[in-house]
């Protein structure tokens, strides 16, 4: 006998999903900041932050053109709320990651309620559970939830999903004009979080087009949506071109397209178990996450099963479009090899596609499960997948921890060698590692900001993170510092020490 169906069950399952997602990613709070993260957490005034509405978020010397002002405001808030901490920005990322899980829950449930079935029972939460756990605990998502600099990716998905949900409600016949207005605003914020957010707008536009040609009664509603979405794209492109004098972004940076990255990211999404961090250990967070997952499955096992009708075709198309277009956005990354991607290199680029695939999983299970036996077999599969995914997620977080320790060691060595640099000192850096063997970033972009944050008020210090041989000609050993990373011993060394240090 099953437990009586109650609305309370929905909240219990949702709470369990959120707890499992949070527990599976919470250990990132212990990780040190790395690479680009230092650029974005660097203290700025609010007026300085607002200028990112009109300039690239990446310093000019890196020749990148990213127009992503909304997350920069949240980085500014990080410095207000949890000043000087490294865990604070990580926590913000986790919060947005959990928000995305909640939005996936809402969207899958919305698609279910729009089906032809009038029944309302508990097995509708099984598709939602599977979709949310797939997104929340997928190992590739460590590259976005666990890396502070990837907040652009997470926030783009957050506002993109919110915009999609509201536009779906508008297209379905709701009389609330605010659904159209707020949904469009969410899509704008998604694009201003990361340019790949336009994928969510494209999905909504595509659904609107289908509605125009298939709906005979209420074409005006669809035309209103299409008009606003087209206007958003038009204004955004003019806005972007006026700043960068071109499209900018990855298309301009990479200057080529390749079919290999989409194929590789798809394969990595299905099989994210290569390139395991060799020094991994079982952690308390993994054990807690596993217990939450098992408790969740046991709870659902005891609840009465019911069958449901089909999901509308338009919702299947929208999830599939999000999945496919998400992979299409990875095509400009021709410089990343197949095996590198399989090893989780730049895994954040798969975030939109994982989101779309999560929705497809929810849709598929809703349509396929028609018996108690299938229901319980699916629960067992979800249990096994989720526990293994939680383990792989935890291992990948440990890989980022390793990179963070190296970055922290480099900064500590700089401060120990140069506790109080002379006025107008130059700091030159050679052979600083970009990442570890698990493709977790160490430095590259961000070294300059990481160093300067430890010398508050010292605007006279010049940092050259991409030093070249010719820069050595101007070095004054008594004033300047030349650092090189010795990979064989894993140490940062000072070259050309001052006379005082040589005498020691």
CA distances from 215 to 170, 218, 344, 490, 504 (A): 14, 6, 43, 65, 84
Q: Return the ∠ at Cα 109 (arms to 107 and 110), rounded to 5°.
A: 60
pTM of the entire predicted model: 0.92
Q: Mean per-residue pLDDT for 440-456?
A: 91
Q: Residue 468: pLDDT band by 50, 70, 90 thresholds?
A: confident
Average pLDDT, the chain: 88
Q: Measuring CA to CA, which residue among 10, 19, 38, 93 is closest to residue 444?
A: 38
Please tell me the least confidently modeled range out of 59-73, 109-123, 427-441, 478-492.
Answer: 109-123
Query: How far is 270 from 4, CA to CA, in rounded Å?
Result: 36
Q: Return the ∠ at Cα 196 (arms to 251 and 58), rounded to 5°.
A: 65
Q: What are the backbone angles phi and psi of residue 464, rounded to the nearest 5°? A: -120, 85
- In the prediction, which pLDDT does 243 show? 81
Q: Residue 496: pLDDT band by 50, 70, 90 thresholds?
A: confident
- In the prediction, which pLDDT does 232 show? 95
Query: How far is 365 from 363, CA to CA, in rounded Å?
Result: 6
Q: Mean per-residue pLDDT for 455-476?
A: 86
Please tell me the least confidently modeled range out of 44-53, 304-313, 482-491.
Answer: 304-313
Greatest mean pLDDT range, 10-19, 154-163, 341-350, 446-455? 154-163
Query: How far is 276 from 343, CA to CA, in rounded Å?
Result: 8
Q: Return the ∠ at Cα 248 (arms to 142 and 149), rounded to 5°.
A: 25
Q: Mean per-residue pLDDT for 276-294?
A: 95
The DSSP result for 278-314, as a single string, is: TT----HHHHHHHHHHHHHHHHHHTBPP----PPPHH
Q: Measuring CA to CA, which residue among 487, 482, 447, 472 is closest to residue 42?
A: 447
CA distances from 45 to 52, 84, 289, 317, 322 (A): 12, 15, 39, 44, 37
Give how far the C-alpha of residue 175 lies from the chain's centroid of Cα atoms, to the nearest Å: 34
SS3 420: coil
SS3 345: coil
Query: How far is 225 from 221, CA to CA, in rounded Å?
Result: 7
The percent of residues in the chain predicted with pLDDT above 70, rounded, is 90
Contact (Cβ atoms closer than 8 angstroms) between residue 153 and residue 194: yes
More confident residue, 433 or 369: 433
The DSSP result for 230-242, as a single string, is: HHHHHHHHHHHHH
Q: Rounded to 5, what percent of the chain is helix, strand, coil? A: 65, 5, 30
Query: Does residue 115 surpass a pLDDT of 80?
Result: no
Give how far the C-alpha of residue 249 lies from the chain's centroid of Cα atoms, to the nearest Å: 17
Which residues contact residue 92 at a Cβ distance below 8 angstroms, ignoring those fewer than 6 apart? 74, 77, 78, 148, 151
pLDDT tens profile 365-422: 988 888 888 889 999 999 999 999 999 999 999 999 999 999 999 999 999 999 999 9
- In the prediction, which pLDDT does 444 show? 78
* Angle separating helix axes 87-113 and 125-136, nearest 10 degrees: 150
The DSSP result for 450-490, as a single string, is: HHHTTSTT-TT-EEETT--GGGGGG--TTT-EEEEEETTTT
Query: Does residue 62 surpass a pLDDT of 70?
Result: no
Query: Strand 491-495 relative to strand 481-486: parallel, antiparallel, unpaired?
Result: antiparallel
The DSSP result for 111-148, as a single string, is: HHHTSS-----GGGHHHHHHHHHHHHT-GGGHHHHS-G
Query: How far is 392 from 355, CA to CA, in rounded Å?
Result: 18
Query: How far is 8 from 303, CA to CA, in rounded Å?
Result: 12
Q: What are the backbone angles phi and psi of residue 176, rounded to the nearest 5°? A: -85, 105
Q: Measuring CA to CA, which residue among 144, 30, 22, 26 is closest to residue 402?
A: 30
Query: How far is 470 from 219, CA to CA, in rounded Å?
Result: 66
SS3 495: strand
Query: Does residue 214 surpass a pLDDT of 90?
Result: no
């Amino acid at each position: 006998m099953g437990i009586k169906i109650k609305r309370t069950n929905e909240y219990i399952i949702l709470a369990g999903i959120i707890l499992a997602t949070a527990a599976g990613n919470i250990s990132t709070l212990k990780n040190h900041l790395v690479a680009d993260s230092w650029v974005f957490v660097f203290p700025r005034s609010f007026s300085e932050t607002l200028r990112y509405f009109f300039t690239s978020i990446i310093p000019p010397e890196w020749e990148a053109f990213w127009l992503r002002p909304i997350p920069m405001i949240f980085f500014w808030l990080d410095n207000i709320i949890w000043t000087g901490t490294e865990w604070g920005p990580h926590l913000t990322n986790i919060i947005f990651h959990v928000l995305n899980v909640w939005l996936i829950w809402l969207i899958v449930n919305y698609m279910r309620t729009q089906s032809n079935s009038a029944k309302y029972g508990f097995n509708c939460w099984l598709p939602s559970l599977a979709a949310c756990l797939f997104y929340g605990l997928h190992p590739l998502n460590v590259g976005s939830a666990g890396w502070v600099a990837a907040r652009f990716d997470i926030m783009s998905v957050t506002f993109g999903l919110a915009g999609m949900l509201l536009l779906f409600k508008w297209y379905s016949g709701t009389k609330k004009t605010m659904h159209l207005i707020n949904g469009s605003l969410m899509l704008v914020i998604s694009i201003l979080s990361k340019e790949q957010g336009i994928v969510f707008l494209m999905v909504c536009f595509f659904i609107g087009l289908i509605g125009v040609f298939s709906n005979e009664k209420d074409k005006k509603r669809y035309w209103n949506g299409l008009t606003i979405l087209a206007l958003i794209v038009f204004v955004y492109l003019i806005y972007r071109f006026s700043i960068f004098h071109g499209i900018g972004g990855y298309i301009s940076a990479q200057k080529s397209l390749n079919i290999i990255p989409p194929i590789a990211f798809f394969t990595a999404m299905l099989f994210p178990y290569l390139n395991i961090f060799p020094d991994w250990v079982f952690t308390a967070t993994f054990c807690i996450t596993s217990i939450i997952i098992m408790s969740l499955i046991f709870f659902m096992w005891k609840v009465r099963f019911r069958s449901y009708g089909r999901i509308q075709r338009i919702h299947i198309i929208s999830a599939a479009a999000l999945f496919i277009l998400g992979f299409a956005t990875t095509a400009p990354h021709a410089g990343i090899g197949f095996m590198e991607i399989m090893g989780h290199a730049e895994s954040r680029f798969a975030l939109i596609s994982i989101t779309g695939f999560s929705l497809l999983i929810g849709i598929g299970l809703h349509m396929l499960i028609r018996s108690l036996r299938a229901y319980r077999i699916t629960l067992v599969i979800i249990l096994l997948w989720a526990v293994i995914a939680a383990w792989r997620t935890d291992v990948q977080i440990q890989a980022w921890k390793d990179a963070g320790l190296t970055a922290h060691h480099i900064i500590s060595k700089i401060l120990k060698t140069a506790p109080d640099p002379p006025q107008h000192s130059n700091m030159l850096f050679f052979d600083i590692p970009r990442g570890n063997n698990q493709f977790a970033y160490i430095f590259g972009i961000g070294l300059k900001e990481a160093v300067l944050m430890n010398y508050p008020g010292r605007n006279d210090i010049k940092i050259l993170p991409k030093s070249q041989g010719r820069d050595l000609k101007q070095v004054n050993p008594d004033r300047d510092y030349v650092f090189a990373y010795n990979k064989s011993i894993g140490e940062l060394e000072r070259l050309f020490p001052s006379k005082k240090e040589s005498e020691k």
